[in-house]
Each structure stands twice: as C-alpha cells, then as structure tokens.
Amino acid sequence: MHNFLKYILRIAGLAVLIFSINSCKENVESAVDPPILSNWYVQSSGITNNLKCVYFLDPFTGYAVGNSFPNDSGKVIKTTDGGNSWFKKPVVVNSSSLTSVFFFDALSGFAVGSVGTVIKTTDGGSSWQVVNVPTNSYLNGVNFFDPDNGLISGYNGTILRTSDRGLNWQAEDSLTPQALNQICISGPSEAFIPGEVGVMVYTSDKGQNWSMQISGVPYSLRSAAFVNGNTGIACGQNGAIIRTTNKGTNWITVATNPSYAFTSVTFSDSNTAIIVGDFGKIIKSTDLGESWSNVLQVTPYFLRYVTFVNNLEGWAVGETGTILHTVRGAD
C-alpha cells in the first residue's frame, strides 16, 4: 500500500510539471530553445561603471567605454593583453556617459556620448580631444566605412557624417525624429541604423542620403548586424529579433518576448550570430538567425554590447563594469 501511494504521488507530480511547462509555453512568444553550455567567462575590468560598448582592434588590443559615475576617470578603459588586465584612460569632457567607441588603427579612434560629446585620440587613448559637432543631442553610435568616411547617430533622429577622417562633421536628414542607436556598416557604402518604435534607416552612399524601411515591429531596435550585403539581423526591446535576406526590403519577425530586452547583435562567422541583453542573457544562432539557442548564463548583470574579432574570440560588456570573454566561440 505504501509503494502504491508513492507511485500515485509521483504521477501527480509529473502531471503538475507537464501542466506548468505547457502553461509557460502558452505565455511566451519566442523562437529561443533551451540553454546550451557556456564558454564565456568573466574578466575583471577594475571599475564599477556601466560599460556600453567595446571595440577590439585585434585579439590583444581593445577599448571599452561607459558611464563616468562614480569615477570620472573610468569612462574609457583599455587592454593590450586580450582583457586579462584593463587600465583606465582618463577623459575630461562635459559628459556623464560615453556610449560608443571606434578605432581605425593602434593610434586613432573616436568615442561619442551624451550632450553631443565627440572625442578623438591620436595616441592610442592616452589623450583625447573634444571634436566640435553641430548637435548637443545624446549620441549613441559611431562607425566608419573607411578612414575618411564615418557616421554618428543619436537622439532626435541625429545623423552626423564626415568625409575627412572626422575633422569636420555635418548633419544629414535621417527622415525621422526618433532616437537612432548603434550603426551597422554593411558594405563599402551601405549602412543601417535601427531606432525607437521600430525605426530602421538605410543608406547606400556613405550617409549622404537615407531611406526608411519597414521593420514590422513597434519596439525600440537597439542593434543590427549584416553577415553579407543582403542578410542581416536586428534586435531590441521586448525580446524582438527581426531578420532580412534582401537588404532590408523585407524584415521578418523571428521572435519577441516581453520579459527582457536585447541590446546588441554581431556575427562571429558566416553562419553564427550572437545576441546579448538583459539579465546577462546570451543567445546564439548557427543558421543565420532562423533559430536561436540560449547560452548558459554566467552573469546576472545586463549586457549592453558584444563583438568578435574572429570566429572564436569575443567580448561582451555591461552593467557594473562587467566584461565577458570567450576564446571558444559563442557557446
């Protein structure tokens, strides 16, 4: 009789578990599969500032930028040993936050941030000079097509363009008043910039002229990445993932989930895409964004940017100075 009761309780417990799983599935709109093992590990940044962007020139030399609070000298940090050690590069500007960083080579780079801040270095980040630009909007992204031609994006539909290596910047008509986020350079003359309320703008002439695309989602889109001239992925709030295979003529919604936001997407190779976001979430696709798998969580802190220098080595940064690193691919 005792064994019979144990059997009945086991069956009842199994039924409750199955009901719970099915209930969860009904309330989550997502194309993300269960977790896979993680090859990511935490590096010590030496700061508590929230980091918003990371850029690596090669597997050894990289820069990360973020908020100045509580230590103003911690806005820019640099590594020359692949992130095993990071050191601060003091910057004194009228800005509480740096949001994006880009380097041409070992010496020359730009960073942008709040209050229309644009700064430039020509000595590998040892010193920075303020660059005058025609806006005081909060700036979210900086990227270059080539050493001469580059773009900056920001609030109020801000797009700034340079054709002289960043000596001068001029405002371009983005066709939207919405905030524009990270800049994706998708070809020698082409770029996409995602923005608020599902905005996506595109240029085919290095930023002189822009057109609007229909993303198909009403959520803030934070980041986009293209693996070739036609195939790209964008991600954003409400767990939104959208995908195109025809240069943005059509964007298809792959997944949404109101439980979290995605903040950055990149490709590590010709098939593999990685997205990071809230609560330390990392997801991976090996079929150009058609399906996704969760990577086992290694931090609870929100991640804000991810980049790879080759198919194996990548970094992600986020809140409280969080830096994650992998040398074994996106798993």
CATH fold for the domain made of 31-326: Methylamine Dehydrogenase; Chain H (2.130.10)
45 to 61, 87, 119, 319: CA distances (angstroms): 14, 8, 22, 11
Q: What is the rounded distance in angstroms from the CA atom of residue 170 to the CA atom of residue 193?
A: 17
pLDDT beyond 60 at 234:
yes
Query: For the CA atoms of 299, 303, 307, 311, what is the dihedral angle to 10 degrees?
Result: 40
DSSP string computed for 166-204: TS--EE---S--S-B---EE-SSS-EEEEBGGGEEEEES
Whole-model pTM: value is 0.88
More confident residue, 218 or 8: 218
pLDDT digits (tens, 9 = 90+) for 121-164: 999 999 999 999 999 999 999 999 999 999 999 999 999 999 99
pLDDT beyond 90 at 175:
yes
Q: Pick the range with the lowest mean pLDDT from 19-23, 148-152, 286-290.
A: 19-23
Q: What is the pLDDT of residue 135?
A: 97
pLDDT beyond 50 at 18:
no
pLDDT tier at 8, thresholds 50, 70, 90: very low
Q: What is the rounded distance in angstroms from the CA atom of residue 244 to the CA atom of residue 227?
A: 11
Spatial contact of 56 and 79, defined as CB atoms under 8 Å apart = no
Q: What is the pLDDT of residue 37?
A: 63
pLDDT tier at 282, thresholds 50, 70, 90: very high
pLDDT digits (tens, 9 = 90+) for 88-133: 988 877 677 999 999 999 999 999 999 999 999 999 999 999 999 9
Backbone CA torsion sign across 78, 79, 82, 85: negative
| Structure-token pair, residue 270 | 């010709």
Query: Cβ atoms within 10 A of the Cβ of 259, count?
Result: 12
pLDDT beyond 50 at 293:
yes
Strand partners, 42: 324
Enumerate long-range contacts of 164-170, CB under 8 Å, 24 or more apart.
Answer: 166/110, 166/120, 166/131, 169/118, 169/131, 169/133, 169/134, 170/134
Q: What is the pLDDT of residue 329?
A: 78
Instruction: Give residue 235's identity as a one-letter amino acid code.
Output: C
Helices within 96-250 (DSSP H only): none
Which residues fall within 8 angstroms of residue 214, CB to CB, at 6 or more apart? 200, 251
pLDDT tier at 31, thresholds 50, 70, 90: low
pLDDT beyond 90 at 255:
yes
Query: Cβ atoms within 10 A of the Cβ of 311, count?
Result: 14
If we measure between CA atoms, which residue out of 116, 101, 92, 111 comes closest to residue 53? Answer: 101
Q: Where are the domains of the chain?
A: 1-30, 31-326
**Token pair 């005058």 is at which residue?**
132
Q: What is the mean pLDDT of residues 248-260?
A: 96
DSSP 3-state of 131: coil
Q: What is the mean pLDDT of residues 241-266?
A: 97
Question: pLDDT over 70 for what percent of the chain?
Answer: 86
Q: What is the mean pLDDT of residues 262-277?
A: 97
| Structure-token pair, residue 57 | 């020139």
C-alpha neighbours within 13 Å on the C-beta side of residue 277: 25
Q: What is the pLDDT of residue 71?
A: 66
Q: What is the rounded distance in angstroms from the CA atom of residue 224 to the CA atom of residue 238?
A: 16
Q: What is the pLDDT of residue 95?
A: 72
pLDDT tier at 75, thresholds 50, 70, 90: confident
Strand partners, 304: none
The mean of the pLDDT values for the chain is 89
Q: What is the pLDDT of residue 68?
A: 79
Q: What is the rounded distance in angstroms from the CA atom of residue 49 to the CA atom of residue 283?
A: 24
